[in-house]
Amino acid sequence: MVKIKIVHNGTIIADDVKELKGNLEKARGLLFRKRIAKNEAFIFIFDKEDYWSFHMFFMFYPIDILWLDKNKVVVDLVKNFKPWRFNRPKRKAKFVIELPSGTIEKLNIVDGTKIDF
């Protein structure tokens, strides 16, 4: 397994990163987990850019979500995405990153931010 770090402006956002490629992995994501750790993140990697919708059904805590294009630039985001909600991004994305709630605000991540991993 390759160790992945997610970095923004030289600051490590997460160093315990789960890379989700398969359909089953993507479908499960954070479902039924009691929490996401401060240094943890999930990266959903898709074959192509598209409007990848996410939901918070059966989730019990809020998270932050970033949608990135093929160049790893933020094209949409949701801060403090609450349980039992649904979101469709404004633009197409190739990568989606789930992070602990508060990460986006703490690091001042906005549309157009470049994320490295």
pTM: 0.84
> According to the model, what pLDDT value does residue 81 have?
92
5-37 confidence digits (pLDDT tens): 888 888 888 888 887 776 666 556 655 567 787
Distance, in Å, from the CA atom of 4 to the CA atom of 49, rounded to the nearest integer, reads 21
Q: How many other CB atoms sit within 10 Å of the CB of residue 13?
A: 25
Q: Which CATH superfamily is domain 6-107 in?
A: Protein of unknown function DUF192 (2.60.120.1140)
71-83 confidence digits (pLDDT tens): 999 999 999 999 8
Distance, in Å, from the CA atom of 85 to the CA atom of 41, rounded to the nearest integer, reads 20
